[in-house]
């Protein structure tokens, strides 16, 4: 005769376990995902992608520069002009 079982699934990898304890243990064994972000003086955060070239979009140098640039188009334009003057 059929019977009822309760299964507990790990919320991360979806593997089923027969006890909450085992499922919780599995969940805790998954490593945290690491992300790197460049954070500018005003708190603007830009994600760094490790598979991108340092100076390209998503790269570390690009992200550091982008984090210090304003999201306001006019202000950004002014900041870029200023950076250009310093680099020359």
Residues in the site for Zn ion, rule: CB under 5 A?
Answer: 10, 12-13, 26
Nearest-CA neighbor of 66 among 34, 32, 29, 41? Answer: 41
Q: Which is nearer to Zn ion, 26 or 48 (CB)?
A: 26
**16 Cβ partners below 8 Å, 6+ apart?**
7, 8, 9, 23
Residue of minimal Cβ distance to Zn ion: 10
Nearer to Zn ion, 13 or 80 (CB): 13
Smallest gap from Cβ 35 to Zn ion, in A, equals 20
């Amino acid at each position: 005769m059929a019977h009822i079982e309760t299964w507990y699934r790990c919320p991360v990898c979806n593997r089923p376990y027969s006890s909450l304890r085992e499922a919780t243990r599995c969940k805790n064994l998954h490593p945290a995902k690491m992300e790197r972000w460049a954070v500018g003086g005003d708190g603007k955060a830009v994600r760094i992608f490790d598979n991108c070239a340092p100076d390209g979009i998503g790269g570390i140098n690009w992200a550091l520069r982008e984090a210090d640039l304003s999201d306001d188009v006019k202000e950004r334009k002014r900041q870029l002009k200023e950076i250009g003057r310093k680099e020359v």
